[in-house]
Structure 1
Amino acid sequence: EGRVVGHLALSPVTHESGAEGWFGLGPISAEPALQRQGVGGALIAEARRWLSDQGARGCILTGDPGYYPRHGFLPAPEHAPEAEPAEFFMVLPLAGDIPPGRFRFHPAFGA
């Protein structure tokens, strides 16, 4: 109907190994009246398509471990950035393996 009902952001992230092609997902939101109706899942599916089209190696996030695994994200506490709660950190590999070591979100996310 021509109105915005959700939002998802992707941003480049770094890895201590120097591995490139990784992105962070978040924030993601849906209009409250439309939550639990597939808006978030549709946004994640579109983000996955976009990432694949860009040749991205994968995507990371810190989020609800009860929600994101249904979209392909895997718990990855050993890869969590220093300041993130490891039990909520997840990775979605798209091309190749997850490099050993920790990811880093842009410093702006910690401001």
Structure 2
Amino acid sequence: MHYTIRQETETDYPETERIVKQAFADETYSDQTEHVLVHKIRQTEAFVPELSFVAFNETNEIVGQVLLSKITIGAFHTPSLALAPVSVLPAYQGQGIGSKLIDTSLQKAAELGYSSVIVLGHPDYYPRFGFAPASKWEITAPFAVEDEAFMAVELIQGGLTNTQGVVQYSVPFDQ
């Protein structure tokens, strides 16, 4: 399958939110409100338009998306990013689209000078992108979660050195 990835634009927002809703519709560990989270993040200072990407199929339909947004870590409010969500329509899953979206977003975040990314996700999936349990850096979630599912990655060598504490997500994550 051929697909392309580009930065999301405002005209993509309604379609992207529909894709997110469809992608999570049957997920067991979802409250099926990820599309609302995406909408709310875009309305905050945590939103970084340059770190929001969409994937298109050969007929120019959006089939996936990824969003990185600003967060902070610990008492010193160390800047970082949250990867949430990454969505691919069920009919297109397992074809490498999600991986390419994640790779693209992490590469762009590094180019923009960000030093780390946090994700709450499947411990068998995210390590292929360099993610490891955030506890390795003494970084914790602001909610109860299994250690191996709450992960971080350094985008630059030492990007999480001397960073520790609780992750503070933007307001939409708490709503």
TM-score of the alignment, normalized to the shorter chain, above 0.5: yes
Query: Which residue does 2:81 correspond to in 1?
Result: 23
Q: Alpha carbon RMSD of aligned pairs, Å?
A: 1.4
Whether the 8 Å contact between 2:68 and 2:83 is mirrored in structure 1 is yes
**Which runs of 5 or more structure 2 residues have no equivalent in the other structure?**
1-57
Structure 1 segments, 4+ long, off by >2 Å, are none
Percent of paired sites with the same residue: 33
What is the CA distance between 1:82 and its match in structure 2? 2.0
Query: Which residue does 2:173 correspond to in 1?
Result: 109
Whether the 8 Å contact between 1:10 and 1:25 is mirrored in structure 2 is yes
What is the CA distance between 1:76 and its match in structure 2? 1.6
Whether the 8 Å contact between 1:25 and 1:60 is mirrored in structure 2 is yes
What is the CA distance between 1:86 and its match in structure 2? 4.0
Matched, 1:57 2:118: no
Could you say which structure has the greater relative contact order, defined with CA pairs below 8 angstroms and 6 or more residues apart? Answer: 1
User: TM-score, length-normalised on structure 2?
Assistant: 0.59
Q: Which has the larger radius of gyration?
A: 2
Q: How many residues align?
A: 110
| 1:2-81 superposed matches below 5 A | 2-16=60-74, 17-20=76-79, 22-77=80-135, 78-81=138-141
Alignment deviations for residues 51-93 of structure 1 (CA, whole Å, 9 cap, x no partner): 0111101100101001000111111234122214142100011
Query: Which residue does 2:18 correspond to in 1?
Result: none
Q: 2:164 aligns with which of 91, 100, 108?
A: 100
Matched, 1:89 2:147: no
User: TM-score, length-normalised on structure 1?
Assistant: 0.90
**Which runs of 5 or more structure 1 residues have no equivalent in the other structure?**
none
Alignment deviations for residues 20-49 of structure 1 (CA, whole Å, 9 cap, x no partner): 2x1000111101111011011000010011
